[in-house]
Chain A
Amino acid sequence: MQIYLPIAELSVNLFFLVGIGGAVGFLSGLFGVGGGFLLTPLLIFSGVPVPVAVASVTGQVVAASTSGALSHYRRGGIDLHLVMYLILSGILGAFGGVAVFDILRDAGQLDLVISLGFLILLGFVGVVMLIEAGRAILKQRKGVVVRERLPNQHNWMHGLPMRVRFKKSRLYISVLPVLVIGLFIGFVGSLLGIGGGFIMVPALVYLLRVPGNVVIGTSLAQVVAMMAATTILHAVQSQSVDILLAFCLMVGGVAGAQFGAAAGKQLRGEQLRGLLALLVLAVAIRFGLSLVLTPADPFSMAVVSPGSAS
């Protein structure tokens, strides 16, 4: 069954959209990430114009992260104080990201920067995660007890000025690294159409030493707020949010996420992280190849400004 997408101006199979939404939702539920980093490339490779794909996926990420964020909120697993700082700087970053997005689109370099961005970001995160998960699995095999929580030691970042007490995370640290993390994720997220959960979680754990019981909830709450703001920014500035496309993806994604979360309970934490790392690396390699290999067609076209509305 074909469905016409009014903003993308093309018709796509409805089951295909709900299907990829569901498949990505399953993986996002399994690994506890938003899934934007998989969905945006999938849409781009299946012919949806890059700006529409990026802008619409931000809407889907909001939906995918909401149910998770709500259940963490009920369990008290969100440090709202920390989230507020992250959002504040994140929205600033998103403004920058959306502005750069527009400039790049007009200059014809949006595809390049998105490919490069995914390659660097996913490649880096994938390698780090793979190493970390591999070590954990090896230790497990040798019978070494893995410490559940990271040592609460401070690093140089915590000593910077403007210290603030975050009660729920049991931290008394400088807000500067918090703001920088928020700014960076807001910028990258709006530029690449990803929630940034897979950057946020390691950043909170390894840089800020946020305890494990509030990491996921805090990250999810931040993703919901950030992506909601980014969706509105994209809608206002580039007008490329396709609500129908986003909705089809949401329906699949929300359902898939629940099954993914159930399946996730069957697997061990480090196995999950290892699999996620492989997935992230696969996407990074796919983007890398598209940059390095000789393209099938060196020529491409785009509409700069439409002649008429309606």
Chain B
Amino acid sequence: MRPSRIIAALALLVGLAAPAGAARLISQMSNDTIEITSSFDGERMSFFGAIVPDSGSEDLVVKGPFHVVIVVVGPTADRVARQKTHNFGIWLNTDQVTFRRFPSYFHVLSSGRLRDITDVTTLTTQFILPESHTLKPNEAGWWKTAVFGRELVRLMTEEELFGVNQNAVNFLSENVYSARLTLPSNAPPGSYLALTYVFRNGEIIARKSEGFAVRKIGFERFLALAAVQQPLLYGLICVILALFTGWLGGLIFRR
């Protein structure tokens, strides 16, 4: 999945090189790594940017009004949505649809209502709407995919892993914006991509993609790696720790 990410990033760079309009986006994020420590309880991030004339352009300023949409996509995983139905008096999972390489985190920040910024086709083809990730062809058939996809997006939204905030981007002047995002404590570790789109009259006139990483560091990283890379040793250490704690407890509280 890493190579495809790189290809996607390259494609975006190529898109940047081609003159999409006479504008260019300069932007900056507050963090390029978010470190998960033992006290990790979510993290606030800020995005800043300015829309300036493209290099080689004669203009001194680019005329707005602009709209900015920032899409933050987390690492992907195969995720399954399941439905419980009532059978023989009990509720059990009977139906499921698997969504391959579905983002584990997806937040959209925008400077206005998405429907006002551009049309649904652009929103869908650029993967700006959360639902657009569920529209990939799926062996379950399009009807089931649509139904389960909508429910999956709702579940992810309830977990604060998906979200659309339509007034998160504020313009400080006509060309300069800032935006805030709070990553929740359950944000999955991995590589993230922040894709910024600048719209004018419903058209994308500039875009930029920046990556950042959410990763466990120190002891948490060590534990998570040990559990995967040395499972036998990890299990043995768990048991030794448990035996020791039990023995110590008996010793301390010996009546």
Could you tell me which A residues sit within 8 Å of B by CB distance? Answer: 1-4, 6-7, 9-11, 59-60, 62-68, 70-71, 108-109, 111-112, 224, 228, 231-236, 239, 241, 243-244, 246-247, 250-251, 254-255, 257-258, 262, 291-295, 297-310
Chain B, Cβ-Cβ closest to A298: B84
Query: Which residues of B sit under 8 angstroms from A255, Cβ to Cβ?
Result: 249, 253
> Considering the chains assembled together, what is the distance between the CA atoms of A115 and B235 in angstroms?
26
Q: Counting CB contacts under 8 A, is B151 at the interface?
A: yes
A6-B223, A108-B96, A300-B93 are known contacts. Are A251 and B83 too (CB-CB below 8 A)? no
Evaluate contact between A59 and B231: CB separation under 8 angstroms: no
Evaluate contact between B82 and A108: CB separation under 8 angstroms: yes
Known: A63-B242, A67-B247. 6 other contacts (CB 8 A): A11-B186, A63-B243, A239-B231, A243-B234, A254-B253, A304-B78
> Considering the chains assembled together, what is the distance between the CA atoms of A224 and B245 in angstroms?
13
A228-B239, A232-B232, A258-B249 are known contacts. Are A302 and B82 too (CB-CB below 8 A)? yes
Q: What are 7 A-to-B residue pairs whose CB atoms are below 8 Å?
A: A4-B220, A6-B220, A7-B223, A11-B40, A66-B250, A255-B249, A295-B84
Q: What's the nearest-Cβ distance from chain A to residue B150, in Å?
A: 9
Could you tell me which B residues sit within 8 Å of A by CB distance? Answer: 1-2, 36-41, 75-86, 89-93, 96, 98, 101, 104, 148, 151-152, 154-156, 185-186, 188-191, 215-216, 220-221, 223-225, 227-228, 231-232, 234-239, 241-243, 245-250, 253, 255
Query: Which residues of A sit under 8 angstroms from B237, Cβ to Cβ?
Result: 243
Contact residue among A65, A301, A310 (Cβ-Cβ distance under 8 Å from B155): A301
Contact residue among B81, B84, B85, B245 (Cβ-Cβ distance under 8 Å from A251): B245
> Considering the chains assembled together, what is the distance between the CA atoms of A224 and B243 in angstroms?
8
A7-B223, A262-B255, A298-B83 are known contacts. Are A231 and B245 too (CB-CB below 8 A)? no
Q: What's the nearest-Cβ distance from chain A to residue B224, in Å?
A: 4
Query: Which residues of B sit under 8 angstroms from A71, Cβ to Cβ?
Result: 250
Q: How would you classify the secondary structure of chain B's contact residues: helix, strand, loop or mixed? A: mixed
Query: Which residues of B sit under 8 angstroms from A309, Cβ to Cβ?
Result: 228
Evaluate contact between A10 and B185: CB separation under 8 angstroms: yes
Evaluate contact between A243 and B241: CB separation under 8 angstroms: yes
Evaluate contact between A239 and B186: CB separation under 8 angstroms: no
Sort A-B residue pairs by CB-CB distance and give the 5 closest, nearest first.
Answer: A66-B246, A235-B235, A67-B250, A254-B249, A258-B253
Evaluate contact between A9 and B91: CB separation under 8 angstroms: no
